[in-house]
Amino acid sequence: MHPTTVNRDLKGLIGRKLVAESGIEADKRVRGVRITTKGRQALARAIPFWRQAQKRIEKALGAEEAGRFNTMLDMAYAKVQDSHSL
């Protein structure tokens, strides 16, 4: 991810207390974060919804097409990331 995207996304997660900063004394260029208890609880609640969505996609497309769809999404994401580095 682009650093500005990471920072923007982290601000929201930190603000909601889902993650917390954890300082790394050895290298000030590195921003350490850790998931909080509240973040773990939110993740645990979200996982069943994510799994349900994955099953719906696979049911609608079939396992083979769903696999191709995921591959295309991965490729599109990689291309977007590559375009950020130009």
Contact 75, 59 (CB under 8 A): no
Q: Average the pLDDT over 42-51 and give the result.
A: 97
**Domain assignment of residue 8, yes or no:** yes
Domain residues for 53? 46-86
Cα–Cα distance list, 46 to 16, 42, 49, 52, 65 (Å): 15, 6, 5, 10, 25
Name the token pair of 52: 């349900």
For residue 21, the SS3 value is strand
75 or 26: which carries more pLDDT confidence? 75
Residue 51: count other Cβ atoms within 10 Å of its Cβ.
10
Question: pLDDT tens-digit profile of 3-36?
Answer: 788 888 999 999 999 999 887 767 777 778 999 9
**Domain assignment of residue 71, yes or no:** yes
**Domain assignment of residue 83, yes or no:** yes
pLDDT at 54 over 90: yes
User: Does one domain contain both 54 and 86?
Assistant: yes
pLDDT at res. 30: 76
Cα distance between residue 39 and residue 17, in whole Å = 7
User: Does one domain contain both 86 and 67?
Assistant: yes
pLDDT at res. 20: 94
pLDDT at res. 32: 85
**Domain assignment of residue 40, yes or no:** no
**Domain assignment of residue 41, yes or no:** no
- Based on the structure, what is the number of domains in the chain? 2
